[in-house]
Amino acid sequence: MEQNRKEERRRIKPADFVYLGAVVLMLVIALRYETKKTTDYELSLGDEVTFGTYLDEPIRWRVLKIHEDRFGRASKAVLVSSEILTMKAFDGAPSGLYGYDDEGVLWRINDEKTIQNPAMQEYTHGTNDWSRSDIRTWLNSNQENVLYEGNGPVKKAMAEESNGYAVEAGFLCGFTDEEQEAIIPTHNITKGNMLSEDDVETDDLVYLLSEDELEWFYDANISIYAPPTKQAVEQDRTHSYQTFSLNYGIDAYVWRLREPVDGYSSLSYSVNNGYSDKRLIQCVAAVECYGIRPAVTVDVKKFSDIMEEQLQAQQK
């Protein structure tokens, strides 16, 4: 009798099959859901995506580089804006008045006395040190009132007293909380300027590219040349795009890198507009007519979730 009870306990009842089937079905559905979330929006180099806004318009980005985890899966991706989003100075002159010191003495950028005095060069023409620049502060802020060191990028600190952005809300104000959470801080190592003993290291949510990182464009088959958005042209008070690009019959425009020029404390490199064979040109930090083409690094999983939400919203 005892043996019969043991055999009865071992016997699987029909209800057990129903329960096990339900469990398997739930696991399959969950697996398909997770797979769908990671494969529907698998990013490829060169893809164009929409992420965040600036000047009340969605920002279009290109996938510039993809980093993989130890299993060979895409874990994070570098995006660069498809177009120049705004024209801004790299840094306003700390003196508060472009080219002049506190005594009212004019320091011209190409004068020998200015070249030989890097501290005064920086003070009257803005710094080319990425870590201390106004543009870095603005790009990485999600506050309506951006806090700058010193005078900040006020109009009088610019070469043409135009395009001051001291009162403009931080760049990240155009991103939702979910979008900001998808951005991964990037540890950047950038060449220091004449006043820096070593390279400068920063952790940036938004950044400008370096000269070495331009090689990523060729790997991704993306043109290094870019035009400004319509909003960027309308916002620019120097009207330099017409003068330096459209009048020459080209659409691309100059955009800034975070790379300093050796031997100067106020000159940094920018990507040229393609008119000449010079890929890079040198630009004064406090000259406000050159373009800003930001880059961000995003968590692929979180970014894919945002893309899925965008698609669902479009289908409604």
* Res 13: pLDDT: 54
Element (H, E) at 299: strand 295-299
Residue 312: pLDDT band (50, 70, 90) is: confident
Q: What is the C-alpha to C-alpha distance for residues 260 and 163, in angstroms, rounded to an integer?
A: 22
**Amino acid type, 224:** I
Q: Which tens digit of pLDDT belongs to each residue from 158-170?
A: 999 999 999 999 9
Mean pLDDT of 105-134: 97
Residue 61: pLDDT band (50, 70, 90) is: very high
Strands 48-54, 200-204: parallel, antiparallel or unpaired by DSSP? Answer: unpaired
* Percent over 70 (pLDDT), the chain: 87
| From 3-7, 124-128, 233-237, the region with the lowest mean pLDDT | 3-7
Q: Which tens digit of pLDDT belongs to each residue from 189-217?
A: 999 998 987 899 999 999 999 999 999 99
- Mean pLDDT (the chain) is 89
Work out the number of other CB atoms within 10 angstroms of the CB of residue 263.
10
- Identify the CA nearest to 90 among candidates 247, 220, 243, 270: 270
Residue 311: pLDDT band (50, 70, 90) is: confident
* Res 19: pLDDT: 52
* Res 222: pLDDT: 97
Q: 3-class DSSP state for residue 259?
A: strand
CA torsion 280-61-128-170 (nearest 10°) is 150
Q: What is the C-alpha to C-alpha distance for residues 188 and 114, in angstroms, rounded to an integer?
A: 29
Under 8 Å between Cβ of 189 and 210: no
Under 8 Å between Cβ of 128 and 261: yes
Instruction: Give CA separation, 306 vs 37, 55, 56, 178, 316, in Å.
Output: 10, 21, 19, 8, 16
Residue 52 has pLDDT above 50, yes or no: yes
Phi, psi of 270 (to 5 degrees): -135, 155
Instruction: Give CA separation, 129 vs 10, 144, 238, in Å.
Output: 76, 24, 24
